[in-house]
Amino acid sequence: MNMQHDDILQSIYQVIQERKTHPSEKSYTASLMQKGIDKILKKVGEEAAELIIAGKGGARQEIVYETADLFFHALLLLGFYDIEPEEIYRELRRRFGISGIEEKASRDEGK
């Protein structure tokens, strides 16, 4: 089966929500959800740091592996707050075609 990027992320998000609603003792996802936001944020930070190290090392497969870990844990954070991946896609679509300088200026205007 050939899934598009948003399909696989949405599928993973749905499993995260299922594990949140119906936790299992054997579920890594459910255990992180039960430990709370601080543990989830710690994992996001750890995975981001591991991706930085992999990026510095330049080994393609390590970068792919660590990026997948970071994506998963970011989805876990979204799931904790019931933020659908579609909200992130909308924000990315909004930014697409806008220069980084213009996008940053639009955020700074709201402060």
**In the prediction, which pLDDT does 71 show?**
98
Pull the structure tokens for residue 105.
């200026």
Number of neighbouring beta carbons within 10 Å of residue 66 = 21
pLDDT class for 106, splitting at 50, 70, 90? confident
Q: pLDDT digit string (tens) for 64-83?
A: 999 999 999 999 999 999 99
Residue 45 above 90 pLDDT?
A: yes
Q: Which residues are CB-neighbours of 16 under 8 A, at least 6 positions away? A: 29, 75, 76, 79
Return d(Cα 16, Cα 49) in angstroms, integer: 23
Cβ 62 vs Cβ 54: under 8 Å: yes
- What pLDDT is stored for residue 108 in this prediction? 72
For the chain, give every domain's residue range.
13-80, 84-111
Whether 6 has a pLDDT exceeding 60, the answer reads no
pTM of the entire predicted model: 0.82
Confidence at residue 28, expressed as pLDDT on a 0 to 100 scale: 96
Q: Mean pLDDT in the chain?
A: 90
Enter the CATH code of domain 13-80.
1.10.287.1080
Quick count: other Cβ atoms within 10 Å of Cβ 76? 22
pLDDT digits (tens, 9 = 90+) for 7-30: 899 999 999 999 999 999 999 999
